[in-house]
Structure 1
């Protein structure tokens, strides 16, 4: 695949690290666990959307846009990173915020909401949960066109074929790094949310004939909805890349038993896992995405899904800034299995 033929901005200098989690691996007495630190991507404090935005912002600039519009939940990491990229490029940035959980939007909230204000988002319009976000973004785009702007709409999570190219590139990066380190992964785990990261990785690993299975841990939807969503973006990404061979039916694998009550709503397993990894490996997970996904991976390991001695890789998709908004859910006294010894 020749990704160089697609316009791309570079927001990260070099590759993100592959880190072996020795203490956690010994603690679980199962597979050898590694982590891909995409929380180290550009635009502090990092996150997976940066890779997508390298292609999306380049596409917007090539089309002459001077403003971007996107959408997300009140603590959206994607919105934060889109705003950061827009500021870097000297473009306006406008948000449609979906209040999926009633009463959760507040201009005075900490976490990403504070960063929205700090970076000076140009406008925020709040809509109720279940709203047609595409239609809402189109409304804002129409208003901007009337004022003489040239807006570019970025879908939630940056999850379309253009954005997914960022994780096709990431798949190639992982394969190159693992070759240089002399480690052959038996499985890769990723959060499966808006679908662009999962779809891009799946296409990249498959098209490079890696033979490495990819497992998604859902954070918002049941498999009946999530698998078709990821498959759709994967097909569109393959088409954009000019891949004519049909994608295998078994390419997309998801586990949906770790969502809890819904998107962004904490689970006991998530909070316990965030504390465990912080105390054992000095790595922070976020409460909405990686906390739930890592908790799901640990549960699958304990069920025997991965054999002892296998080498597995977890993709850390970032989002740590949202953690500070969820402080009230973390009581260290509730987690005696904390890895301090």
Structure 2
């Protein structure tokens, strides 16, 4: 790591002073994937276990929600509203965060994944959302969830509630700050292991986690790569989502919008499968390899697609093959596995 600039020091101070509601069990573990490293024959591959954040089975959204919930409570809100797909990991963690804070939670969930059975809307994350006490409203996949959430917030205000609307994936600037802070945790862990960090690979969908890591790297004076593997969005859509969250996060810290522009935006499109929420052969192969070589459970919507991208990037001829140390960020999602019974049948 190089020495952060003066603007970065000021931004780090601003970050530490923002309202934040502790939700996760951090720091999360970081360990070497020795068998996968040997199979790829390239850099040492490490895994950052943000599936172990602890909030209702954990996941990456917990870190975002610490800042989002902190702002909501500082504003005097008593209700959380958010959106996602029927098997949204984000929605599950919003429901859990609301339970921890004693706040009501309303979730607008889109039936956006094609060709699933009727059981898909009953098990996994959506079952846990209801168990956690959230009010769940399901909408058709082509409905505008932003408009539904806005109308719901307006109605709740008329009824005397004080709602706080969280965007898809918690991926605005405030949510992204969760991973600006998380990068410092990761960097310190790698430093303690005397393993210089060259790149971070993650599944990327709503873009906020990738944006936060990019900003966190810049704040630490880091010169490595944040390698996002799309789980469904096109390159144009994913890049726009990451850039939106990054610019918004910079403004929250008093930085110019282009402060982190020196951190390259890398998006891999080769493992998103036929559709968001639909795994393909590469997804299932990554699921099997992680489970059978390292005893690690991934999910077929996010982390397995990201891991498939990691395997290709670290193998001979891959974009990260010549590096020394690469970290895979496990973003969680195993709670949705019961909605994908084919994951156990096709291996």
Sort the TM-score into its range (normalised by shorter chain). Answer: over 0.9
Distance in 2, Cα, partners of 1:91 & 1:279: 40
Distance in 1, Cα, partners of 2:98 & 2:145: 20
Map of 1:269 onto structure 2: 282
Residue 252 in structure 1 maps to residue 251 in structure 2: no
1:68–1:152 CA contact under 8 A, matched in 2: yes
Matching of residues 286-305 of structure 1 within 5 Å: 286-302=299-315, 303-305=317-319
Name the stretch that deviates more: 229-238 or 56-65. Answer: 229-238
Map of 1:116 onto structure 2: 129
TM-superposition CA deviations, 1:261-304 (whole Å, max 9, x none): 11001111111111110111111111111110110111222333
Map of 1:239 onto structure 2: 251
User: Paired residue for 1:76, among 82, 88, 91?
Assistant: 88
1:144–1:150 CA contact under 8 A, matched in 2: yes
- How many pairs are equivalent? 332
Distance in 1, Cα, partners of 2:232 & 2:262: 22
RMSD: 1.7
Residue 12 in structure 1 maps to residue 24 in structure 2: yes
Distance in 2, Cα, partners of 1:94 & 1:292: 29
- C-alpha change, 1:147 and 1:103, in structure 2 (3 Å) is farther
Distance in 1, Cα, partners of 2:94 & 2:137: 16
Distance in 2, Cα, partners of 1:250 & 1:173: 18
Residue 311 in structure 1 maps to residue 325 in structure 2: yes
2:80–2:105 CA contact under 8 A, matched in 1: yes
Q: CA deviation at 1:98?
A: 0.9
Q: CA deviation at 1:28?
A: 2.0
Name the stretch that deviates more: 100-109 or 14-23. Answer: 100-109
Q: CA deviation at 1:107?
A: 8.2
Normalised to the residue count of structure 1, the TM-score between the two structures is: 0.93
Map of 2:7 onto structure 1: none
2:125–2:336 CA contact under 8 A, matched in 1: yes
Distance in 2, Cα, partners of 1:275 & 1:86: 34
Distance in 1, Cα, partners of 2:114 & 2:300: 18
Map of 2:335 onto structure 1: 321
1:271–1:330 CA contact under 8 A, matched in 2: no
Matching of residues 1-341 of structure 1 within 5 Å: 1-2=12-13, 3-102=15-114, 104=116, 109-121=122-134, 123-244=135-256, 246-248=259-261, 251-302=264-315, 303-308=317-322, 310-331=324-345, 334=347
TM-superposition CA deviations, 1:206-226 (whole Å, max 9, x none): 121111211110111111221
1:29–1:308 CA contact under 8 A, matched in 2: no
Distance in 2, Cα, partners of 1:287 & 1:102: 15
- C-alpha change, 1:111 and 1:307, in structure 2 (3 Å) is same
Aligned-partner SS, 1:330? helix
Distance in 2, Cα, partners of 1:107 & 1:117: 14
Normalised to the residue count of structure 2, the TM-score between the two structures is: 0.91
Distance in 2, Cα, partners of 1:206 & 1:243: 12
Q: CA deviation at 1:193?
A: 0.8
Distance in 2, Cα, partners of 1:208 & 1:40: 24
Distance in 1, Cα, partners of 2:38 & 2:84: 38
TM-superposition CA deviations, 1:213-243 (whole Å, max 9, x none): 1111011111122112211211111111112
2:208–2:241 CA contact under 8 A, matched in 1: no
- C-alpha change, 1:243 and 1:152, in structure 2 (3 Å) is same
Distance in 2, Cα, partners of 1:308 & 1:108: 44
